[in-house]
Structure 1
């Protein structure tokens, strides 16, 4: 018999409202607890025994209720733990690694790349650029690991275009701009041809560039400055013309290495501190390049192994 059902019968029995059938069941159950020959005929004792039996029933049913409540509490705790664990995993689980398409260029090589949104990217010699495969996400993301690239970005107000380079984030909606970030040079340069470009560092905007403006950012000390620039010259490399304007020897060395595979080396500190202003044309012969460099400071050069020493 169901214990709850039996308990209801017992309550009606105590209240005197039980039916004949219920009273028969309760009394039969009571008699089953003692042998026939030991049945108590004294009504007072009988009532006491009955009361004791009833109290025992209450204890058993109460114990069962406690056990059920305890079980429910344990089950609820387990459910909460599982829920918390699932929520924690959902929030803190490691993000899937971002996937990229890689664009690389070699010595003297130039590539023009159509991006998934129909924006166009030109990549200069000896560069390495990664394009996020998730180009339809919240941001259209490109990473310049090394080198130089010019972008002509298709306008999309819903999905800003972001370029990540040397700790900087360059963000636009639709514009054209140039970024030079060769690892051998101390500075990253961002120049704007059309539109407007926001440059951010450590989640703060450090510059809003408009056409004809360029930002120079020092990788080592994070000092930056904004100045006017000839953007036509900055992006001239797309047409095979590279302009150097008061470039350091280190910058000159990077450029001639990338374009002509010439390893320049200064003979002394004096040469190392020279500045160079000249135009280099893609496809020039080694002798033409070295002669153009030597004329600026009336220097000479000699070959030492795989290097060319300027003195």
Structure 2
């Protein structure tokens, strides 16, 4: 037999032998090969090394190839043994090919990526919460803020989502693996820096303010701008308007216990008072609904002192009852 017989030709030869269409010479060569394989090892021997993985299938066929040619030159079998040997060869050959195929599939099937566990961190009303990530990044959450993040990051990118509220990010520097914060459709990408993201649901704006380093702020595939220290972007979610401006300081007031009211409307004030003091604010009449408030208060202030300050801004009155405040 031709020693250069290909893999396909070898499989074809076995197939012909099994369905009875092989010539007398081809049948004799297969049978002589089988007898020779009996001295070389059983099919179990052939698959005794799992470490060879996908190469096993090719090695099995290689054994067939190497065995057939030299054995073809040995003495022929007796015809009276032909039928019994044929059945034996057929069963072993069929098993050999099936096992080889199964072995190859099991050791080469695609490996499904392990599902990554997603954690959620929530800061209680009136409190801050520190979250430390696997890469060394530290995130401080303001009152009632919510952050989702993976238990471990992928090899190419680090991504978290600020679901609600405000957070200050101190990102561990990694030149080849950017860090991206998603918040209400806005993406803030950095390599290693510190910045603040304000995305409370009571506001129709998102603010990104940089303390150190440089960040890129985008919405979808559109770049809103780059920010360096003491720069801020305000993005209006309703109008798409972008305001980029300088700020006086890189400090984040809320991390020091300050609550800065920057011309907030009545609905925003309601949320701020509830998030930080656990009081429900409501209005009596229509006068106060259209008012705006600018002030700096402390989280440690009593609610009575806070309301005295707020009432003095617009000459309004208020009443306190249990956990409810009525402004008029």
When normalised by structure 1's length, the TM-score is 0.66
Shift of 1:187: 1.4
5+ residue gaps, structure 1, are 8-82, 84-88
User: Where in structure 1 do 4 or more consecutive aligned residues deviate above 6 Å?
Assistant: none
Match of 2:222 among 204, 207, 224: 204
Aligned to 1:161: 179
- State the distance in 2 between where 1:275 and 1:127 align: 23
- State the distance in 2 between where 1:278 and 1:128 align: 25
Residues 1:157 and 1:295: Cα distance change in structure 2 (over 3 Å): same
Partner SS state of residue 211, structure 2: strand
5+ residue gaps, structure 2, are 1-16, 26-104
Shift of 1:199: 1.0
- State the distance in 1 between where 2:24 and 2:153 align: 70
Match of 2:126 among 92, 108, 111: 108
- Summarize the alignment of residues 1-311 of structure 1 with structure 2, pairs less than 5 Å apart: 5=23, 98-232=116-250, 235-303=252-320, 306-311=323-328
Q: How many residues align?
A: 231
Shift of 1:186: 1.6
Larger radius of gyration: 1
Shift of 1:227: 2.0
Q: Over the residues paired in the alignment, what is the CA RMSD in angstroms?
A: 3.0
Residues 1:273 and 1:134: Cα distance change in structure 2 (over 3 Å): same
Q: Residue by residue, what CA displacement relative to the aligned partner does 1:54-86 show, whole Å, maximum 9, x if unpaired? A: xxxxxxxxxxxxxxxxxxxxxxxxxxxxx9xxx
Q: Is contact 1:215–1:226 with CA below 8 Å preserved after alignment?
A: yes
Q: Residue by residue, what CA displacement relative to the aligned partner does 1:128-154 show, whole Å, maximum 9, x if unpaired? A: 111112325321111111111001112
